[in-house]
A = this chain, B = another copy of it.
Amino acid sequence: MTPDSLKNLLEAFKRGDIPVDEALAQLRDLPFQDLGCAQVDHHRELRQGMPEVIFGEGKSVEQIVRIMTAMVGKGSNILVTRLAADKAHDMARLFPAASYHSEARCLTIEQKPVEQKGKGEILVVSAGTSDIPVAAEALVTARFLGNQTSHVYDVGVAGIHRLLARREQLAAASVIIVVAGMEGALPSVVGGLVDKPVIAVPTSIGYGASFGGIAALLGMLNSCAAGVTVVNIDNGFGAACAANLINRV
């Protein structure tokens, strides 16, 4: 229910077109219907600033196809994350307009042009080559949500000169997503070099005492560079969502 439809309801009641009990019923969940619509997708975009996205992991091809078909019918753009290549292959036949980004394991369909709403550029920095899938997920997501992006890969702290050589690129970004596994030290170094928001993404890359990304996660939460915030392990998608909102502030 939009503000306009609420006014209409009240006027109808005033005119006596609807009885008090019916008005009462319609008004019960007002603040939420106030947002407006029956469509989950539109609703979320209004409320949270980004469209519904399909998390592909653990869903069958059938389930994903059913959701996609509904969204395609509404003319929405579609992003499916964490989609294995074999599932994507199956879908490509059903949705010829779909693009599969294999490094990022994401599938997108753009039925309408993506509106560029971001103010500046979102830069994605990754520590090692093994971290690239998570970085790529962040890049695909950020672009899907309407942002300019760039990236710098393989600039981990054990060869700090590689990062320092890219200082201009760091300085030019409006938000920086830093993706790192193992000890997760890169966000601290980046955070110390720039005056921009830094979103740290720990990855599950590593072995032994990396504990599937816990070491990197803890390192990032304890960053000595003030201003670094953190998302869940391997959550390139979430980092891009946060960067997208920041890029519109």
Contacts and interface: CB of A to CB of B under 8 A. Distances in A.
A88 interface: no
B175 A249 contact: yes
Contacts of A120: 249
A232 B208 contact: yes
Contacts of A202: 208
Contacts of A50: 195, 226-227
Nearest to A200: B229
A231 B221 contact: yes
A193 B198 CA distance: 24
Contact of A204 (B158, B208, B238): B208
A53 interface: yes
B223 A214 contact: no
Contacts of A209: 213-214, 217-218, 221-222, 232-233
A81 to B, nearest CB: 10
Contact of A229 (B6, B193, B231): B231
A238 B226 CA distance: 5
A50 to B, nearest CB: 7
